[in-house]
Chain A
Amino acid sequence: MAARLRGRPAHAPGPTYLSYTPNGKKLITVGVNGALRVFQHGSDNEPAIIDVLTDGHTAVASTNDFIVVGAEDGSVTKYSLLTNSMEEILVRCSLPVRDVSLSKDGEWVAVASDELEVKVVNTRDMTRIMHLRDQSRPVKHVSFDVSGSTLAVSCTDGIVYMYSLSSEQPQLIKRVDGLIKTLETDVEASAKVAWHPDGRAFAAPTATRARSDWQRQKAFSGGHRADISAAAWSPNGALLATAGVDKSLCIWETRSQRLLKSYDDVQNAILAIDWHPTDNVCSYTNNNGELFIREDFVPGEHAKHLRIALQPAPMNNDPLSEISGNARKQVGNGDKPNGVRRSAEDQYLDDLLGPDAMSEDEMDFIEDDDGAGYAEETNHVGKRTAVANGGRPAKRHAPFATWNPQVHEAFQPGSTPWRGDRRYLCLNMTGFVWTVNQDTHHTVTVEFHDRQEHRDFHFTDPYKYDKASLNEKGTLFSCRPSSQTQQRAVLYYRPHETWTTRTDWRTQLPAGEEVTSMSLSESCIVATTSKGYVRIYSLFGLPLKVYRQKSMPAVTCASWRDYVITVGNGSVGGDGTTRMLYTIDNIRRDELCQSEDVVALGEDTELRSVFFSDKGDPCIYDTEGVLLILLHWRTPGQAKWVPLLDTKTMDRLASGRKDETYWPVAVANNKFHCIILKGSDVYPHFPRPLLVDFDFKIPVSSFPAGAADDEDRDAAQQKNLEEQYVRASLQHSLASDLVDNTNATSAQKAEVPVMEREVDKALLQLLAAECREGEERGMKALEIAALMRDRTGKMLEAAGKIAARFQRDILGEKITQLAERRLVGLVDEEDM
């Protein structure tokens, strides 16, 4: 991770601040020089630059459409992100601006300057200004809560003023004294209040307080040795990132106030931190004009914290949308050493209320009471300030996420998301399709592995195709409907070879319908749509069938010859996520092979890809790195998922030095073909990486391959043979399934006896190993002999020979008996 860390010189050396737009697409930085930079998320391109008249910028806040920037010359200016240009100067102060904060709806911006009053300006109508004049000294920070109805003003006199803005006339509802340190307006340390995304708590440099009664709730302590310079809750509130002027950077778990990780590679004091609203990315700027975009900010083992839904007050995640205004919170001063200890009352309360009570449950309770929707948790301070605040105006907002089942997103197997201006639309064993975003249009390139058979082609794509599917016969594209051009979703098929002049065709989907995934096989085209339909076309564009999927919304689909597998979201499981269900359909015979069966995925694992092997068996690959194949799927109700390979147990990872994952491409030639992804990459990128293949290894046992001594090696060998047996049996049943259920070719038919022999060979070797061990293992040896598939008796004969070679006479006799019984037709099924 550290290797990926690179500072991006964003501005001239000096204090620099940043803000993510609520939709996470852009990141804006401001610094001392007269330019703003707009970074596109996930792109390494040079950021867009907005040249401005002001310099010495001290604060930035953003919505999806515009940003508000404060500068030392006292101006607060609004810039449009759509045109990357200045719109208007919202307000002008006589003294330098220190902080700006936008309410979540982007309606109001609060401006803190060295003047005594805080101005709250309407962003659309700059003549509408509210003045907050209760503080006695200049204000260092301002921070809107999630609802936008409460503004926390961190004053240099060490008091946090809470204003309610819900009425026309702003009202001071609370003075929180003793929470923050007394700081000058221009020091690096911060006293900014960071509202928890659920709105019931906030963190301040010295403490977190429950908002309802303004008492300090929990302290995040022990991580910093100096004043805190910035802090931010993760979008869901489960994590808190803080930075100190001692160049430390810490991640805390909200629920337990535990320090999860401390980064020590920070070079300069961090002045502003912001989490990306959705990804595991956190960015920060320092006082040297640099921006750091930290991917995989939360270490892998804790990354799950980021994925959970918005958590109740103290610590849960909240939706990204909430962060726009107040997600980025700066923690002010460093924590005070004494701030760490919890008071006896706190503990007593904890005991009464249970582990999370203070922070979460209590807050819920409180919130109901006051309706103001703000319970702050104070993180670091040791004292509680118990001041009942006067009437809280404020309609309460409902900051908690309502329970929402998590639905699996639709995806197109073999495609990758945009990275920079490129993405793969399809990457498989035939070739790959990639597209380049040229703003007004895309350019699509199709390349083949086999350059003799097909010729690569390239075209300009005004439709901006976002999905593609490629096989030996042709390429299928689809694009989204566009509201601007009134264009509908289109399927476009382009065959590679034709004997008439031109057979490529386009077909439009009905208005409002969008392709969520699609696939191309040798005989048909399948598309699942946002309306829940499965649409099947012939290769020449003739619609063959339309039916509604039983489990919706659709996740993905794949096809092989006449078989179509569609995966959709089914009922909701215990963990709040839907179970994925699949259906396999033979469209020519109009038969359901499997109907609404479960895609067997473990807890917390996601489907990464669905595809058919080269022999036509459905395979899935999950985020845990396990490749599974569907066995007996041609008989309804008989299907089961069998693991073929657990990439985490592969020998190449045994040393623990390699940090890599695999991106599935295909199962072919009895091998798993994939692309190796280094580090934390999730998708392959350009230049096109090489395909790598791995042999199957069914996770029968985990035995280290490089065992040192002989005994271990023997045991490893034994395990190896066992795995070989299980794998050969699996392949045998796959092959015999194929032959039994289809008009198999002679080659396929010949494969069944070959696989049978493989099974028996593995058994013979196991038998030899047992014989070598000694006479006392005879029973097991006989069991192994009884498992032989061969009905001609030759294998049992060979088994008898092995027994004789090791002079296991009794075993030999029993094997001979077994062979005789089989020969005369006394089938030993009941024996087994």
Chain B
Amino acid sequence: MALPLPPGLTPSEVGFLCEMEHVTVIPRQTLDGLELLGGPTGALKPPFPTPLPLWLALLLKKQRRANITPPPWLSVDALTQILDFETDERTAELFSPSPNLPPATTTAPLEGDPYLAHDSLELSAPFLKDAATARAQADALPYHWLEIGHLLITHAPDDFEDLDAVRKLLRDLREVRMSKLRKGFEVLDAGGGVKMNGVGGMEIAEVRGFVGGVVDGLRKLNRSREESRKERETEERENGFGSSSYRDDEDEDML
């Protein structure tokens, strides 16, 4: 039996997933390392900052056993810079790029890109390490930026230097980026596409329902026309007009 939920992840599920991200915590009391399913955590020894999964950090924060250091990209300076990039005319079409990929871990002593090697295991978002710890890149929004930002602002407001400015900047960023996404909807078509480089997990979850619905609806509307075109193509192929419509096929396959 089908679940009543729409396909894909709901925002709350995305929010749950982002709690696996590591954040940097300044402990306020000692705690030995824990053997968790997600891997062991480091021992807490004040005042040495330690990376912890976000869920654990929030738990400790609630019990006032730790302070959470907001990641560098969640500072007023960094957010302003990113917002400038998003609103700049020259880059109006783009989302601000996601963090740089780490250098390849697989050493490829000989020629060849390590990312293409068969035995390599190179991570990309959302599995990047240090996306939200104190070592995170300051000038890029990681995959879970919206969720982490929201959770930290709600649960650790006293750890921010300028809470209101951060909150406002986050909201601005969210609106700017959503409007960009929405602008992309205008070109939605059975064969259209929207470039979503740098879009975060929550943003995808938010637009998934709408975009999926629109594309599906368009597909349904266009079904008869497509079917007739396919028939025509089959006929043509049979008649020996071979490869003329190769590109059309590919486009349709994309969605």
Partners in one complex: yes
One of B43-51, B116-124, B142-150, B201-209 contacting the partner: B43-51
* Minimum Cβ distance to chain A for residue B33 (Å): 14
A429 touches B47 (CB 8 A): yes
Residues of A within 8 A of B109 (CB): 768, 772, 805-806
**Is A690 part of the binding interface, using a Cβ–Cβ cutoff of 8 Å?**
yes
Q: Is A133 an interface residue (CB 8 A)?
A: no
B104 to chain A, nearest CB (A): 12
Q: If A690-B69, A805-B109, A806-B109 touch, does A453 touch B30 (CB 8 Å cutoff)? A: yes
Q: Is B29 an interface residue (CB 8 A)?
A: yes
Q: Is B26 an interface residue (CB 8 A)?
A: yes
One of A417-425, A444-452, A572-580, A596-604 at the interface: A444-452
Do residues A452 and B47 form an inter-chain contact, with CB atoms below 8 A? no
B49 near A693 with CB under 8 A, answer yes
Of all chain B residues, which has the CB nearest A428?
Answer: B47
Which single residue of chain B is at the shortest CB-CB distance from A765?
B107
- In the complex, whether A669 has a CB less than 8 A from a CB of chain B is yes
- Known A429-B47, A669-B48, A691-B47; contact A449-B28, beta-carbon cutoff 8 A: yes
Would A452 and B48 count as touching, CB distance under 8 A?
Answer: no
Question: In the complex, how many angstroms separate the beta carbon of A58 from the nearest chain B beta carbon?
Answer: 44
Set A448, A668, A690: member contacting B26, Cβ < 8 A: A690
Instruction: Report, as a range, how many residues of chain A touch the other chain.
Output: 10 to 19
- List of A residues within 8 angstroms of B46 by Cβ: 448-451, 453
Give chain B residues whose Cβ lies under 8 Å from the Cβ of A451.
28-29, 46
* Residues of B44-103 whose CB lies within 8 A of A: 45-49, 65, 69
A452 touches B29 (CB 8 A): yes
* Residues in A neighbouring B29, C-beta threshold 8 A: 450-453
Q: For residue A669, which residues in chain B have a CB less than 8 angstroms away from its CB?
A: 48
Nearest A-chain residue to B134, judged by Cβ: A692
Contacts of B134 in A (CB 8 A): 692
Q: Mark A660-685, 1 if CB is under 8 A from B, else 0.
A: 00000000110000000000000000
Which of B28, B46, B47, B109 has the most chain A CB within a 10 Å cutoff?
B47
A114 vs chain B, min Cβ distance (A): 54
CA–CA, A690 and B160, complex, Å: 11
Which residue in chain B gives the minimum CB-CB distance to A806?
Answer: B109
Bound CA span A672–B3, Å: 53
Q: How far is the CB of A624 from chain B (nearest CB, A)?
A: 25
Inter-subunit contact B69/A668 (CB<8 Å):
no
For B45, list chain A residues within 8 Å (CB). Answer: 450
Residues of B within 8 A of A772 (CB): 109
Chain A residues contacting B30 (CB-CB under 8 Å) are 450, 452-453
Bound Cα distance A448, B69 (Å)? 18
The chain B residue sitting closest to A768, CB to CB, is B109
Is B28 in contact with A450, judged by CB distance below 8 angstroms?
Answer: yes
Distance in Å: Cβ of A288 to nearest Cβ of chain B:
31
In angstroms, Cα B30 to Cα A448, docked, is 12
B40 to chain A, nearest CB (A): 17
Cβ contacts under 8 Å, B27 to chain A: 450
Among residues of A, the one whose C-beta sits closest to the C-beta of B70 is A690
C-alpha gap A669/B44 in the complex (Å): 13
Cβ B48 vs Cβ A668 within 8 A:
yes
Q: Which residues of B contact A452 (CB under 8 A)?
A: 28-30, 65
Could you tell me the distance in whole angstroms from the C-beta of A687 to the nearest C-beta in chain B?
9
Minimum CB–CB distance for A564 against chain B, Å: 25
Contact indicator per residue, chain A 802-829, by CB within 8 Å of chain B (1) or not (0): 0001100000000000000000000000
10-28 of chain B: CB within 8 A of chain A:
26-28
Residues in B neighbouring A449, C-beta threshold 8 A? 26, 28, 46-47
Chain A residue at minimum C-beta to C-beta distance from B81: A657
**What separation, in Å, do the CA atoms of A552 and B134 have in the docked complex?**
44
Which residues of B are found within 8 Å of A805, using beta-carbon distances? 109
Tell me the nearest residue of chain A to B72, going by C-beta: A652
Q: With both chains docked as a complex, state the minimum distance between the C-beta of B45 and any C-beta of chain A, in angstroms.
A: 8
Give the CA-CA distance A451 to B67 in the complex, in Å: 12
- How far does the alpha carbon of A692 sit from the alpha carbon of B72 in the complex, in Å? 12
Min CB–CB distance A640 → chain B (angstroms): 29
Residues of B contacting A806 in the complex (Cβ-Cβ under 8 angstroms): 109
Closest residue of chain A to B29, judged by CB? A452
> Counting chain A CB atoms within 10 Å of each CB, which of B30, B49, B65 scores highest?
B49
Whole-angstrom distance between the alpha carbons of A693 and B24 in the complex? Answer: 12
Q: Complex Cα distance A450/B109, Å?
A: 47
Q: A451–B29 Cα gap in the complex (Å)? A: 6
- Please measure, in the bound complex, the distance between the C-alpha atom of A453 and the C-alpha atom of B44, giving whole angstroms: 13
CB distance from B208 to the nearest CB of A (A): 36
Residues of B contacting A453 in the complex (Cβ-Cβ under 8 angstroms): 29-30, 46
Q: Known A-B contacts: A429-B47, A449-B47. Give 16 more (CB < 8 A).
A: A449-B46, A450-B28, A450-B29, A450-B30, A450-B45, A452-B28, A452-B29, A453-B30, A690-B26, A690-B69, A691-B26, A691-B47, A692-B134, A693-B48, A693-B49, A806-B109
A-B contact pairs, 8 of them (CB 8 A): A429-B47, A448-B46, A450-B45, A453-B46, A668-B48, A669-B48, A690-B69, A693-B48
Identify the B interface with A (CB < 8 A): 26-30, 45-49, 65, 69, 109, 134
For the complex of A and B, list the 6 residue pairs with the smallest distance between their C-beta atoms, beginning with the closest: A452-B29, A449-B47, A449-B46, A450-B46, A451-B28, A450-B29
